[in-house]
Amino acid sequence: MNLMELNFVLNGEPAEILVDPSDMLADILRERMLLTGTKKGCGKGECGACTVIMNGAAVNSCMIPAMKAMGAVVQTIEGISSREKLHPLQESFMDEGAIQCGFCTPGMIMSAKALLDSTPHPDSEQIKEAIAGNLCRCTGYVKIEKAILSASEKMKG
């Protein structure tokens, strides 16, 4: 096995890890860095459960070779809140009942965060487009959309 050194910024902190060039970012985050909020669903970039933010964009980490993260800034669900306070998206998802089984929630929140980072006050169509790659089999999308709109309002102040 030919391991390579991967250096990147993970949740605001420098990270360094040896990886096999064939490793995918989702596997490194979950299995090696123990950031289990990044779920591995389909493994084909179709469900969005593995969504993280890389260099400001929501990406399916199951489709990103780990070495593509060299020098990148990566944020996972674990990196959006502090120990003292949840991110407004996390609060709104709970408040609006947008969580049922929870499997899709981290990826859904990361897609929503990427949207709100670039478009602080999105309309319904922008929200639907931003979460189009995230599948939820429990809640339907009405409560999720409402939670994202609610978080947008919370973040105004």
Which of the four pLDDT bands, split at 50, 70 and 90, describes residue 82? confident
* CATH number for the segment(s) 4-79: 3.10.20.30
Indicate the SS3 state at residue 56: coil
Please list the residue range(s) of the chain that carry CATH number 3.10.20.30.
4-79
| pLDDT tens sequence across 93-113 | 999 999 989 899 999 999 999
pTM (two decimals) = 0.95
Which of the four pLDDT bands, split at 50, 70 and 90, describes residue 144? very high
Question: How far is it between the farthest Cα atoms of the chain?
Answer: 51
Share of the chain above pLDDT 70, in %: 99
The third-level CATH classification (topology) of the domain covering 88-156 is DNA polymerase; domain 1 (1.10.150)
Paired with 4 in beta bridges are 19
Give residue 157's pLDDT.
65
d(CA 18, CA 2): 10
